[in-house]
Structure 1
Amino acid sequence: MNNGFNQLQGILQMAAFFQNPPANSPLPSSAQASQYQPSAPTTQPVPTQGGPNLLSLLGGHGNTLSAPLLRTLTGAEAGVGSYDGDDELLVKALQESQHKGWTYRRALDNLHGVNSHTAAQWKDYYLDHTPRINKLVALQNGEKPAIAKKPRLDSISPEHRPSSSKHPISSDEPAPRPHSTSRNHRSAVVVKKEARVKASDKGKGREVPSRTPSPPRHTTLSRKGYAFTDEDRRFLINYATYRLHEDPHLKKMDISTELAKKAPHHTAISWNSHWYQQREYYDQFIPRVVGARRKAVSDKAVSESESEEEDDNGSSYHSSEETDEEEDAQNMSSHREPLNDADRRVIARYIASVGSEWNNLRGKERWEPVESMYPQRNYKAWMETYRNHSKSIDELVGKYRRRNIARKSAVRAQKAVPSWAKNRKRARSDDDEPVSKRSREDSSSSS
């Protein structure tokens, strides 16, 4: 930066020197200069008093250099936020990333060069202003952002997408959007051309399929693997609805593992990551997956499992098993903050949900899905974070895995008892009370 300003200062001094040379200048006088004149006349024009000066030749106006040249000479590009439309471009890019199935990282990389900002500058600006930018994205989508809680990093609802005459998805008109650059206009055209689930599927998603849904027949290969198509989305909606009707205690990762077996062009982690990224959209069609506080299973089995596992060493994250998953996701630390208890619990739940497959994954395979779900850190940072806190996180992973096993065992035990047997047992218990009551009354009357 200092070198750039020194160069600029030198150029300005040189321009002033040639424009108005001082009296004691070492430049030759007119008489001395005539001794060095060539014998033949030259064709070069002689600058006049009103002719162009050096600044004008460098693209300046008057005594001021042009802004692009000034940035080039100084090497200091204006930071993000220096232009009025920077926030608008950033919000629009993040909003459209959900419609395209992109991560925030990819969306920010795609902004490289826009308004003379680098991708790194866009990322730093977003990470420094995450809560405010996320609120703007939520407002752009017509949502009402939470006030008491920290906004989620990807609190974007795909419900409010740009409408298309061929595939309308909502009767609500999207909020009017400000004028954008031609680059963003081209992006909007691409968004409109992308596949989406039709509005008619919204009703279908609420109906339970009568049989196991068939996997997609067609796949679309992109540069980074298989893209999620309309068929994939419909299959996810129908299959998840079908399985949750059979077993409402299934976790998202359980269903994602089954999806990967039925449709192996996406891995279980890929299915789960896509579901998480688009969760506000899929929640419109799929029944709510059982959360950490759902009490449908046997409380006794769960409490027994927890009592055996209690081994509090004084750390707060060991005594927070009942913390809500969504609340933890909102309380995670940002890019420049140290790891907190919510981070540990979220990562531990994720590892526990992957199951034994976690041991077969390595580096990038493990942590890229985490980056797509929680983009405040890239996958390398998450990998390093886990390495530095593996002991505390692994302890939580063990507790969550044992809890999941206890829940599944309780569900299987409940399902093993036929409904007619449950009804008979209930009827018998109802009949026992009046019989015993009559026996006591008879004995008292006889005495």
Structure 2
Amino acid sequence: MIATLAALPIALLASGLPVFLVFLVAVAATLAFVLPMPPLLLQQVVFGGLDNYALLAVPFFVFAGDLMGRSGIADRLIKWVLALTGRIPGSLGVGTIGASSMMGAISGSSAAAVAALGKTLYPQLVDAGYGRERSAGLLAASGAIDIVIPPSIAMILYGLAAEQSIPHLFLAGIIPGLVIAAIMSAYVVMVAIRAKVPRAGRFDLGLVLSTSKSAVWGILMPVVVLGGIYGGFFSPTEAGGVAAFYAMLVARYVYRSMSWGDIVRAAADSAVLSAKILIIVATAGAITWLLTTQGVPQAITSWLQAMDMSAVEYLLCVNVFLLITGCVLDPTSAILVLAPLLVPVAAALGVDPIHFGVIMTVNLAIGMFTPPFGLNLFVAQSVTGVPAHAIYRGVWPFVLVQIAALLLVTYVPALSLALVR
């Protein structure tokens, strides 16, 4: 069975088959030729994996993020952040990281942030002297922060896979997300000083006030969403609905930048993207069910305990494994398949599952812009037109910077657990 569920998916991935079909074929082949189980079980498990109320948050937040990009909320947030960072060396690069963090606090979609920011900021970054490679690399890397800062779709899926509190995971992601943004900003400032990149402008209180007034509805969105969750007014799933409704009202009646027809088209595109995510959820759930019923997590736990591995050693091995995995698998697939296997071992070694969820998310966020298959690299290439090999060169420094932040998040649990506790 292990050979079927290990060798077959690798071979199918190498052939270019979509991830959901890789999972589906692997489970079907195992049920048909290895285990004495009726194939009808596959249908029940696949559809049963979607029977979870918390999953409704996914299409809601996807829709909210799409509306934010189309309605001009994102552009207003970008101008507001750039106004705040005008006096800092490398201010445009720092502003890019700040704008991406704000985008993450609204939609939780990394690829959407890269696409939205790339259209607006890439030409400005190149004109400011950052160069094509570094500009594209910065955009791809800063977008990864979005799946760490709440509300995060990756955190929602980890909460489902590991049976952990989604509100606690959202809280746990706040400080690590800000730490990653701060370390990246420090690196950008250092490079800007060394390369003598000019400041984007100067601090102008009048400009800050005017851009704040223009962006206030976007700034309030994460306040409404997260404030509602932690104030006890609604659950994370209901928060997704509130975010989508809020974005729709702002787009239609406040900024008046979208007609009802535009909103319907955005809903249709969001439905397609949500379907792509949820079909992976369904088929990955089948793999997880099969591994769990055959006792694989328990066997791995017993094997590692027999090796007498410490928590520090285990987390180091997990980081290396997840960084490699993130290069070839998207966060949705990796979390749903690997969390049920890795979390029991971490818990047995005394690692808090909430802290482990942040570690796992940060690892897979780095994988989103790590060559050669990181999703953000392809999005950045399509938006900027920079060749893939050039983006690879531009993104490597940010990979190393975020790995340094990952080690900090891994071995200082208080960063993840301070707000939760």
TM range (shorter): under 0.3
Higher RCO, Cα 8 Å, sep 6+: 2
TM-score normalized by structure 2? 0.28
Hey, which of these two has a bigger chunk of helix by percent?
2
Q: Quick check: which has more Rg, 1 or 2?
A: 1
